[in-house]
């Protein structure tokens, strides 16, 4: 059983909508990550938080806005998305940034219409 | 640029052995990872190599050659449940994971 949960599991939204994805980890980890996974493409790292502080923003468009209120919770706020943003959004956590194993949540399947 | 290459898809027979290759070009090297991802599920950690050689863990083994920028994942005694995508990832000098696109492994009876 994964110690990382994500809600919702599926989301369909229009381009003018605002929605948020939620991730929670129950592992006591200090680092959390947002990834985008598109079909037949490598996982794309979007954001990294370590001890609630953002340490990485890999040139992600501003229509994606992360929030990390504490080490256990991570949000991804979405607004005015494009159809090409449709993908699986995965959250992961690790004990630290240099820890070798990341634990992934089940993902949110996002469809932008 | 940084790049991870692995075959898109492979097919193997139940009970057989399959080797999934991964080659990489990255800015620095701080370890290579293999993850398994079943369709519709989260990736799960399989193995980690930071030194050259073979790491064995049950039916799965992972090999690394840093001088060649090469790794492989070896799966023995294949079972139907091994049908999944296998993701290769390298941690670069900034401790960021660079991911391959994954190899979809299809197991046939």
**DSSP letter for each residue of chain A:** --SEEEE-SEEEE-TT-EEEEEEEE-S--SEEEEEEE-TTS--EEEEEEETTEEEEE-S--TTEEEEEEETTEEEEEEES--GGG-EEEEEEEESSTT-S--EE---EEEEE-
Q: For position A47, what pLDDT does the model report?
A: 94
pLDDT at A16 over 70: yes
Give the integer Cα–Cα distance in Å for A42 and B42. 14
How confident is residue A2, by pLDDT bands cut at 50, 70 and 90?
Answer: low
User: What are the beta bridge partners of residue A108?
Assistant: A89
Taking contacts as CB-CB distances below 8 angstroms, the residues of chain B near A90 are 42-43
Backbone angles phi, psi at A51, to 5 degrees: 50, 45
Q: What is the DSSP letter of B69?
A: T
> Beta strand A44-50 with B70-75: parallel, antiparallel or unpaired?
unpaired
A-side interface with B, Cβ within 8 Å?
2, 4, 40-45, 48, 56, 90, 97-98, 100-107
Q: For position A49, what pLDDT does the model report?
A: 94
Q: For position B81, what pLDDT does the model report?
A: 97
Higher-confidence residue of A17 and A74: namely A74
How distant is the Cα of B18 from the closest Cα of chain A, in angstroms?
Answer: 21
Q: For position B94, what pLDDT does the model report?
A: 83
Q: For position A58, what pLDDT does the model report?
A: 76
pLDDT at A84 over 70: yes
**Virtual torsion, Cα A63, A61, B102, A87, nearest 10 deg:** 20
Task: Render each residue's pLDDT in chain B as its tens digit; 109 residues.
Answer: 789 999 999 999 999 999 999 999 998 999 999 999 999 889 999 999 999 999 999 999 999 999 999 999 999 999 999 999 999 999 988 888 899 999 999 999 9
> Beta strand A64-70 with A53-57: parallel, antiparallel or unpaired?
unpaired
Give the integer Cα–Cα distance in Å for B86 and B34. 7
Which residue carries 């990550």 as its tokens? Answer: A33
Which tens digit of pLDDT belongs to each residue from A21-75? 999 999 999 999 999 999 889 999 999 999 988 887 778 999 999 999 999 999 9
How distant is the Cα of B81 from the closest Cα of chain A, in angstroms?
Answer: 17
Q: Report the percentage of chain A scoring pLDDT > 90.
A: 77
Q: Is B108 helix (H, G, I), strand (E, B) or coil?
A: strand
Separation in Å, CA A78 to CA A30, A82, B21: 24, 10, 37
pLDDT at A1 over 70: no
């Amino acid at each position: 059983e994964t110690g990382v949960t994500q809600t919702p599991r599926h989301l369909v939204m229009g381009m003018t909508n605002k929605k948020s994805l939620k991730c929670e980890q129950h592992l006591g980890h200090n680092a959390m990550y947002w990834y985008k996974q598109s079909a037949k493409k490598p996982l794309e790292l979007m954001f990294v938080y370590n001890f609630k502080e953002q340490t990485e923003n890999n040139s992600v468009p501003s229509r994606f806005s992360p929030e990390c209120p504490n080490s256990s919770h991570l949000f991804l706020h979405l607004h005015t998305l494009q159809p090409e943003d449709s993908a699986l959004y995965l959250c992961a956590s690790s004990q630290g940034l240099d820890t070798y194993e990341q634990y992934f949540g089940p993902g949110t399947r996002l469809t932008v219409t | 640029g940084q790049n991870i290459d692995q075959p898109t898809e492979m097919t193997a027979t139940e009970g057989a052995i399959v080797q999934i290759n991964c080659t990489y070009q990255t800015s620095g090297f701080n370890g290579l990872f293999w993850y398994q991802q079943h369709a519709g599920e989260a990736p799960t950690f399989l193995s980690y190599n930071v030194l050259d050689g073979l790491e064995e863990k049950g039916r799965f083994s992972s090999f690394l050659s840093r001088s060649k920028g090469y790794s492989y994942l070896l799966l023995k005694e294949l079972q139907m449940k091994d049908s999944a995508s296998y993701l290769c990832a390298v941690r670069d000098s900034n401790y960021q994971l660079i991911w391959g696109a994954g190899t979809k492994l299809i197991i046939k009876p």
